[in-house]
Amino acid sequence: MTDSLTAETPPEELSGGDYQKGVVTYVVDGDTFDVKLENGKTERIRPILVNAPEICHKSSPSACEAEPYGDEAADFTKDLLEGETVYLEQDVSERDPYDRLLAYVYLENGQMYQELILSEGLVEVSVYEPDIKYQSHLEKIEQKINKSTTHH
């Protein structure tokens, strides 16, 4: 991936403004995880504009229809985010139909989670209007990945 496609936000810009700071306490899968916010409340987060393959959850293994690369996406997310401080930026919609908080997720170094997992080829861009602030940026990354390779 070339640096020209990454729109990293400097960490100093994340400490103010419209960002909520928290710590990732539990990763469900590649596109769902829990964050304990500074106000003490724990929110289930759904990163905006990416969709990870489904995995088998321990609570219902018999009804499981895992999708290819679902476990890899979940493992990547767990390794990258669990126990880490993140900054959440919201778009137009606050929550999805499952009451998950919708957010663009940034690491302390300013990198966007969505960019990182997309660059690994583990998720697809998934657009639900009106939450499209970074749609064209993420689609450029996806197109570049699709041209150079398929899933790792």
Query: Cα–Cα distance between 100 and 90 in angstroms, integer?
Result: 12
What is the C-alpha to C-alpha distance for residues 102 and 90, in angstroms, rounded to an integer?
6
33/100 Cα distance (integer angstroms): 9
User: Is 120 tagged catalytic?
Assistant: no
Q: Is 8 a catalytic residue?
A: no
- From 43, 72, 89, 100, the catalytic residue: 100
43, 46, 89, 142: the active-site residue: 46
Residue 139 annotated to the active site: no
**Nearest to residue 126, comparing CAs of 17, 52, 58?**
52
Instruction: List the catalytic residue out of 54, 82, 84, 124.
Output: 54
Q: Beta strand pairing status for 124-125 and 50-51? A: antiparallel
The residues annotated with a catalytic role in the active site are: 46, 54, 100
